[in-house]
Amino acid sequence: MRLMFHPRALRPHILNWEPTAASMIQWLHRDVVSGFGGAPSRALLEELLAYPGVPRQWRTLDVEASTAPFLPIEFQKGDLTLRYFITLTSLGTPHDITLQEQRVESFFPADDATEKISRARARLSPFPRLPTMGV
């Protein structure tokens, strides 16, 4: 989240930064209210809200805001545009201490061009590849 909110990191390259960031802030507000993540979540929320250009109205929880299970995001650098959708998955329940704070954020290509570029870049990655299960 820091990379998405920082004005000199990814933020200038996110075409739909305001709606994307607004949704992320609301996810974080809900985490703070529910106690998920404890003090680190509260500290992250305060840090993100302090970045320049973050709208003041984001400082409070908007109970009417959408809590869609996915979030579209568009990146652009030069003439390259990549479109993804993000899913944020929480594992466990507050009563299961082993899974309480496990969270997985995943990016999926939202169009054919982004998928093609993502697959090509994955082949160049220094990280080991996971099985694709026939995809």
* Prediction pTM value: 0.78
In a domain, 29, yes or no: yes
In a domain, 135, yes or no: no
Cross-sheet strand order for the sheet of 102-109: 70-77, 80-91, 102-109
In a domain, 130, yes or no: no
> Please, are residues 51 and 6 in contact by the beta-carbon 8 Å criterion?
yes
Any idea which residue has 């496990």 for tokens?
Answer: 102
In a domain, 134, yes or no: no
Beta strands in the chain (DSSP E): 70-77, 80-91, 102-109
Task: Give how many domains the chain has, as a whole number.
Answer: 1
In a domain, 24, yes or no: yes
Structure tokens at 53: 């250009």
Q: Print the domain residue range for 75.
A: 2-124
In a domain, 133, yes or no: no
Q: What is the pLDDT tens value at each position of the chain, 135 positions in all?
A: 899 999 999 999 999 999 999 999 998 998 899 887 788 889 999 999 999 999 999 999 998 887 677 889 999 999 999 999 998 776 666 665 555 556 778 889 999 999 999 998 888 777 665 555 544
